[in-house]
A and B are shown apart, each in its own frame.
Chain A
Amino acid sequence: MAFISPALLLLLAMSVFPLLWALYLSFTDYSATRGGPAHFIGFGNYTAILASAQVHQRALTTLIYVVGAVTLQTVLGFAIAYLISRRTHGRGLLTTLFLVPMMLSPVVVGLFWRFMLDAQFGVINSMLGSLGLGQVEWLTRQRTALISLIVVDTWQWTPFIMLIALAGLTAVPKYLYEAASIDRASEWFRFRTITLPLVWPLLLIAVLFRAIEAFRLFDLVYILTNGGPGVSTETLSFHVYKVAFLGFNTGTASAYGILMVLVVIVLTQIYLRYLNKLKEG
């Protein structure tokens, strides 16, 4: 197929081939720098990773981060979309303004929040100070550092949920509301029986996208906390990076990466299946 094959070939060369290579390396003790041939060690890397307390800790951190960030931005994003959808004027302008954070590079977002969250001269603590509140160590305490990550991610990606929710909300046909208002249904009832069911599937797709993105988070951690304090904000992606580039344990890192890809694929499949069932039901 002359039109498809060039694209597929590139994807095979740049995505599939590297992945297969990683799959092969994941069964070896290969190191990209140490030299020497790779030795086949079966599932050694996989069992070591699955049994490692270090990995469990990163998995938990990642889970808290994904759930926290995605929940927060879904609630906020939907709320903003709902408020915007109820306005007659300035909808376009408002939407555009709210979308700015989403368009920025994670590098810019990370650096700038790091600057604003600085305990000593950051503007956030400065404003808290004017309100008579004490300094908060945003990036250097276990809890607050993880919360800061969640907040920054939420700041950047709430617009994403908002955008999609807004699409759903403006698509609700007027006649449905009119029918409901003739019935003198309460606002909450209308929201629950008309608005939400129509927006829900879209919102779930948005959540899926965000969850996948959040699961592989790396750059924000790299810049904002570097995984600290200690390793308490190290995500799975960040840990893979350390395994791959600090000790150059390429075999282990490959197995780690393959496991991450598997998790994404399996969870996505389950989720999509649920979504389709929801749609049919």
Chain B
Amino acid sequence: MRHSKRMGQVSAPGRKVQLATAAMLLVATTVAACGDGQDDGAKASAPKAPATIPELTKDPLTLSFIWFDWPPAHALEAFANAEYKKERPNATIKVNTVPNANWHDAMFTQFAARKTDFDIAILDSQHIGEAVTNGNILDITDFVKNNIDVEAYNPYLLAAYGQFPQAETGKRDENASLYGLPLLGDTWTMIYRKDLIGDKPPQTWDEMISVAERCQAEHPGVSGLAFHQANGSDAAAVTYNTVNGVYGGNLWDSKTRKIEGVLNDAAGHEAMDVLVNKMKPLTAKGSGNWFIDEVNAAVAQGKACIAFNWIAASGGLLDPKQSTLGTTREQILDKLGFATLPSQKTNLVPLGGMGMHVSAYSSTANQAEALNFMKWFERADIQKKWAAAGGVPSRTDALESPEFLNAGPFNQVYTDSVPRMRDMWNVPEYARLVDIENTNVNAALNGAKKPKDALDDIAKEQQRVLDSGSRKGGGGL
């Protein structure tokens, strides 16, 4: 009897609560959905940065960057706090780092949230299109005109880290808008074992392959080659793109936005064949998921004759604590040589590195500080100091300075590579394009797909992504 009474008391308010909640929920959904739409419609393109640097604050200020976790990120934080503080004692530099695999997602989820915990995003050159189209970073064209000596740079470096729409390889379009300035230049270096293949690095790609083949045969337990093959980040994609460039292929026709038939032309297929059928057999078993750190480990463990890696990621190779090649830096350098990539039909090398881009969502004071920092960073004397601190500068005078060339055995490689660089597409669809290429090249390298099919699939799927403007649903599958 008590129970039935209790039931009556409880259920009535219970139902009311349920009804009220349901109503609230419905209202909230509608409001949120509408609010969202209006919010997004208002911002369609990148907001402009002021042409001159506004007055800077005298209050303490923290200027935040976002980058992935690797030695240059720590170098930048230390360098900026030591040097920039001399100019701006009230500013503190903080470089937020995220795992490399999470880098794109971490930046663009914050961009999507319209709230960033960083003032300067260090975007990969190919991320620019996505960020510009979504209005996430400032248009600094006018700022650059007034504050930066553009003549001091190889034009392609300025274009690669700042220009959108993308420039032609090797050039800069002076009428196009700029959205960033170079922070850290990078390209691949060939790392070779002088004690195993001799002091003189191979000059052509074919020669490099045959040298590696011989070295592997002569030295059991050491594999001929080590390079990036992983399906994450841009690992396998950069590897294919490099071989594609060297063998005279093209990634796309940027004017007509054609990939199908361009990427998978005869040269493209030859490059894929060289990569899968000639280079892959010379790599270590199970190296199909290798990226930067695994290639470094293989070199440091003395298990590779010739390896390819990003210059900015190669510093650790000279650390005796992580190497079995010697107990001092000099001993290691007796065995390791660094050279520019061999050429074949062309001498193209992959463009790496990143630029600085001002977040559209950071406060006015911080944006002003960010612009001031960038102007400071691109000064001739600071670029040389950055070089001496272990960074890779972009100004031609800094690249040719003894401060830079003497700072590391691979720095000459970078300076020599600058005129030879080629980048990937920097369109807004970049993340999807690179994923398609990564997974397919990785599949081909690991026997999950025939090389020819893999390349044709890349071209077909990438073309579909570029063409998918229509609103029928299922985008991104």
Question: Which of the four size classes fits the interface of chain B?
Answer: 35 or more
CA distance A226 to B33 in the complex (A): 33
Contact of B474 among A21, A44, A135 (CB under 8 A): A44
* Interface residue B169 (Cβ < 8 Å from any Cβ of A): no
Q: Cβ of B476 and Cβ of A138 under 8 Å apart?
A: no
Q: Does B5 contact A (CB under 8 A)?
A: no
Instruction: List the A side residues contacting B60 at CB < 8 Å.
Output: none
Q: Among the listed A46, A142, A243, which residue makes an inter-chain contact with B476, where contact means beta carbons less than 8 Å apart? A: A243
> Taking the nearest CB of chain A, how far is it from the CB of B228, in angstroms?
13
Q: How far is the CB of A170 from chain B (nearest CB, A)?
A: 36
User: What is the size category of the interface that chain A forms with chain B?
Assistant: 35 or more
List B contacts of A54 (CB < 8 A). Answer: 477
Within 8 A of B (CB), among A48-86: 48-49, 52, 54-55
**A37 CB contact (under 8 Å) in B40, B449, B477:** B40
Q: In the complex, what residues of A have CB within 8 A of residue B449's CB?
A: 230
Q: B25 at interface (Cβ–Cβ under 8 A)?
A: yes
**Most chain A Cβ neighbours within 10 Å, of B112, B284, B428, B445:** B112
Give chain A interface residues in 18-54, CB to chain B under 8 Å. 20-21, 24, 29, 31-39, 41-49, 52, 54
Q: Does residue A12 face the partner (Cβ distance < 8 Å to B)?
A: yes
Residue pair B443, A135 in contact (C-beta under 8 Å): no
The secondary structure that dominates the A interface is: loop
B29 touches A17 (CB 8 A): yes
Q: Are A38 and B36 in contact (CB under 8 A)?
A: yes
Contact partners of B41 in chain A: CB under 8 A: 35-37
Query: Given the complex of chains A and B, what is the CA–CA distance between A119 and B294 in angstroms?
Result: 12
Residues of B within 8 A of A32 (CB): 112
Q: Which residue of B lies closest to A42 (CB)?
A: B473
Task: Pick out which of these stretches binds chain B: A184-192, A204-212, A244-252.
Answer: A244-252
- Proximity bits, B226-237, A CB within 8 Å = 1, else 0: 000011100000
Give the chain B neighbours of A128 by CB distance below 8 A.
none
Q: Give the interface segment out of B9-17, B80-88, B322-330, B388-396.
A: B9-17
Contact status B473-A45, CB under 8 Å: yes
Chain B residues whose CB sits within 8 angstroms of the CB of A55 once the complex forms? 477
Counting CB contacts under 8 A, is A268 at the interface? no
Q: B435 on the interface (CB 8 Å rule)?
A: yes
Asked if A88 lies at the interface with its beta carbon under 8 angstroms from chain B, I say: no
Bound complex: CA of A39 vs CA of B445, how far in Å? 40
A247 and B475 contact, Cβ closer than 8 Å, known pairs A37-B41, A38-B37? yes
* B contact residues around A125 at 8 Å (CB): 286
List chain A positions with a Cβ less than 8 A from chain B: 1, 4-5, 8-9, 12, 16-17, 20-21, 24, 29, 31-39, 41-49, 52, 54-55, 118-121, 125, 135, 137-142, 225-232, 242-249, 251-253, 255
